[in-house]
Amino acid sequence: MYTFSHGRHMIASTRRQRAREQGGGVTTFEYRFRSPHFAPEDKGATPPAYKAKQIGDVLYEKDVAVTLPDGVVIHVDVFRPVEGIAAPLIGWGPYGKHGHTKYSVNFPKAEVHDHLISDYTAFEAPDPLYWVPHGYAVINPDPRGTWYSEGRATYLSPEEAKDFAALIEWAGTQPWSNGKVGLSGVSYLTSSQWRVAELNPPYLAAINPWEGWSDTYREVIRHGGIPETSFWSYLPGRWGHAVTEVEDLPLESDEREFFDAYWDSKRSKLERIEVPAFVCASWTDQALHTRGTLEGYRRISSEKKWLYVHGRKKWAHYYEPRCVEMQRAFFDQFLLGKETEVSDWPAVRYELREKYYVGTELPARAWPIENTNYVPLYLSPGKLDETAGAESTLSYRPEDGEKLVFDHTFEKATDLVGHMALSLDVSIEEGDDMDIFVAVQKLDVDGNIVPFAFYAQFDNGPVALGWLRVSHRELDKAESEPHRPVLAHRRALKLSPGEIVPVEIEIWPSGTHFDAGESLRLVIAGKDIYDYPKPSVYARHEDLRNRGRQTLHMGGEKPARLLVPVVNTSHENAI
């Protein structure tokens, strides 16, 4: 058994967590725990028993026991060179270190081809049989309270981040380690990177967040205040294999409608991150990772940071050979000390999409893109115009599936890259609340909807999405900008029938090229505009508050508008 102990990483084992709320004051909240959702053996796991075997030049050590500072034992799998030292790469997540996912079987539309990864690749993690021959060691842990590891599991919490920091220091001090630790992986394996990198632990030398949320409440639990009812409910079944107790996420979510100290404890403190970072985001993970990954890059304090934004499916792109080589170039420079192409990378590279899997990669100096011009397009019945029209109203009944559509045709080629924001004045005839769903679409010159990759698995997605529960319309004024309204989520401001209220709706970032004659379509509805048959893994919103007819007020003194991010690009600079 390996033992690790260090005073600065001591972990409190109480159920209470003290946290400072954004609005001031100190609040104590209590975690809720429950029995495991499933036993580890239900997913093919076996009780830990250390063993080692050689796979070519790779030494595979299974179930290495690591003792955390408070005495809790977790288990990790280590893949490293048979001889010599290596730079450790850690993929921290709760999905099970033993579990190779056959994407072609479990997620056939994700387009992760079997030949691209070995059978030793953990879910959303780096492939050890690729990385070890290049001078790395890959470490896959079962975090505290997951699978057969001891303790009680909490997820993306300050306590978990301290455990992760302890493992980083353990990895950096092993006799086979070169003392420079990197972090890799997708989704949870990125969100956990944000959390531990806040601590700037010793031996952490570089991170590669590849699409992962950074604000659990705003980006996963409640989109615009509307509760997500499908994906979040699915996750405990993936995370909750254990022999002890696990955090009761469904109960905590039901009990906590508003953003409080608990949800703040699951929001990354990005400004504290100083380590070199290669951040990968996509336009395609609307309702999951797009916003949080781009916020991650924008807000981290790292002096050496690069951003890559693509328009493809996230798992497939992470394992695509060109992207793996980009990852290795980054880690080779910061973990192995080699001079690589990274020194010549632009600060930002992004894919300007034309349609599904067709686009051009372009360089930029900053995110948001430098010299972005935020242009208002004003709503009038059926149209988006460059000038506000006369006063008018449009009504629709969400319960009957009705929706409103507004189109704008571009007279010249136009590139939109970044956040959009929708300003409306709305009213209701019944009830005391209103749920608004927004989609931005692209139409070709014949008026057909142009499809894009979407949510890791789908090929007919939107340009971008936005949401708002109108009772959550109060803005966080300190965080909000005209192109990026941020909701406070601190209280409910209910409506009265006939009352007209202004609302600001954040539309998540996107990057799309429109030729002359092509159109942008804005869709406003009262339920999910994109949906897919269950059991497809997808974000859904089924707990809605719409009742009766709802009205948009436009023009005159209430000029409803869509703010769009116009950038000047030169395709001659394509990467």
pLDDT in tens, 236-280: 999 999 999 999 999 999 999 999 999 999 999 999 999 999 999
Backbone region of residue 279 per phi and psi (left: phi > 0; alpha: psi in -120 to 50; beta: other values): beta
CA 184 to chain centre: 14
User: Would you say residue 140 has pLDDT above 90?
Assistant: yes
Contact by Cβ (8 Å): 170, 90: no
Distance separating alpha carbons of residues 54 and 75, to the nearest angstrom: 19
In this predicted structure, the answer to whether residue 3 has a pLDDT above a threshold of 60 is: no
H or E, element range at 191 = helix 188-197
Confidence of residue 23 (pLDDT cuts 50, 70, 90): very low
Q: Give the list of residues 6+ apart from residue 467 with CB closer than 8 angstroms, or none.
A: 223, 224, 225, 226, 435, 436, 437, 438, 505, 541
In the three-class reduction of DSSP (H, G, I as helix; E, B as strand; rest coil), residue 104 is classed as helix
pLDDT for the residue 559: 92
Mean pLDDT of 283-300: 98
Percent of the chain past pLDDT 70, that is, above it, reads 95
480-509 pLDDT, tens digit per residue, is 999 999 999 999 999 999 999 999 999 999
> Residue 569 has what pLDDT?
81
For 65, the enclosing helix (H) or strand (E) is strand 58-67
Length of the chain equals 575
- Given a cut of 60, whether residue 9 has pLDDT beyond it is no
pLDDT, position 572:
64
SS3 assignment, position 438: strand
Q: Where are the alpha helices (DSSP H) in 204-313?
A: 216, 231-239, 249-255, 261-264, 290-299
Q: Is a pLDDT exceeding 60 seen at residue 12?
A: no
- Note the pLDDT of residue 28: 75
- What is the spatial distance between Cα 63 and Cα 203, in angstroms, rounded to a whole number? 23
Query: What phi and psi values does residue 288 have, to the nearest 5 degrees?
Result: -140, -85
Give the C-alpha separation, 110 to 99, whole Å.
18
E strands along 411-500, which residues? 414-428, 435-443, 449-450, 452-454, 458-461, 464-469
Q: Tell me the helix, strand and coil percentages in the chain, rounded to 5.
A: 20, 35, 45
Strands 58-67 and 2-3, bridge-based pairing: parallel
* % of the chain surpassing 90 pLDDT: 92
pLDDT band at 99 (very low <50, low <70, confident <90, very high): confident
HEC string for 512-525: EEECCCCEEEEEEE
Sign of CA dihedral 215, 219, 221, 225: positive
Average pLDDT over residues 37-46: 94
Report the pLDDT value the prediction gives residue 197, as an integer from 0 to 100: 98
Contacts 24+ apart (CB under 8 A), 459-462: 459/109, 459/356, 460/356, 461/284, 461/286, 461/530, 462/286, 462/529, 462/530
Question: How confident is the model at residue 14, as a pLDDT?
Answer: 36
Residue with tokens 């009957």, as numbered in its chain = 400
| 8 A C-beta contact, residue 164 and residue 189 | no
Identify whether the C-beta of residue 33 lies closer than 8 Å to the C-beta of residue 152: yes
CB 95 within 8 A of CB 238: yes
User: Residue 571's pLDDT band (boundaries 50, 70, 90)?
Assistant: low
**How much is the average pLDDT of 141-154?**
98
Mean pLDDT of the chain: 94
pLDDT score for 13: 33
The residue written with tokens 């400004």 in the block is: 271
Q: Within a 10 A sphere around the Cβ of 13, how many other Cβ atoms?
A: 11
Indicate if the pLDDT at residue 8 is higher than 50: no
Mean pLDDT in residue range 202-209:
98
Integer Cα distance of 122 and 110 in angstroms: 16
Confidence of residue 432 (pLDDT cuts 50, 70, 90): very high
Element (H, E) at 395: strand 392-396
Q: What domains are defined for the chain?
A: 51-224+260-345 (3.40.50.1820), 373-567 (2.60.120.260)
Look up residue 183 and give its amino acid: L
